[in-house]
Amino acid sequence: MPRYVLAVHTRPVPGLEADYHRWYDQVHLAEVLGVPGFVGAQRLAACEPFRHNEFVATYSIESDDIDATIAEFDRARALLRTPPSLDPESVSFRLYRVIGGQ
């Protein structure tokens, strides 16, 4: 089955970092992993000198129909609660197809 990685770059609103991390770790990752085809998730923090958006969540996806899987993700995303601690201007998405590795 084809594998993909969805990378979602975000950052918290200054001063609301604790709420942002709590929401991501205790609520949001599980919500996204409820979408069919999403099989794993991890969060990463940027290190110097490569800091643009400070954090990225990567979601492992297994799907024979990635367009349908992403459409389902978009439908689910519309129903998810976005906390005031997430800076909406920071959110960006990039989808990668796994082509190799161990």
- Position 20 scores a pLDDT of 97
At residue 76, the pLDDT reads: 96
| Closest by Cα among 73, 78, 72, 38 to 58 | 38
Domain residue ranges of the chain, discontinuous segments joined by +: 3-97
pLDDT along the chain (102 residues), means of 10: 96 95 96 97 87 85 98 95 94 96 82
Q: What's the confidence (pLDDT) of residue 6? A: 98
Question: Whole-prediction pTM value?
Answer: 0.91
Give me the pLDDT at residue 57, please: 97
pLDDT at residue 93, as a whole number: 96
CATH number of 3-97: 3.30.70.100
> Which two structure tokens, joined as six digits, stand for 46?
């940027």
Closest CA to 33 of 78, 73, 66: 73
pLDDT at 52: 62
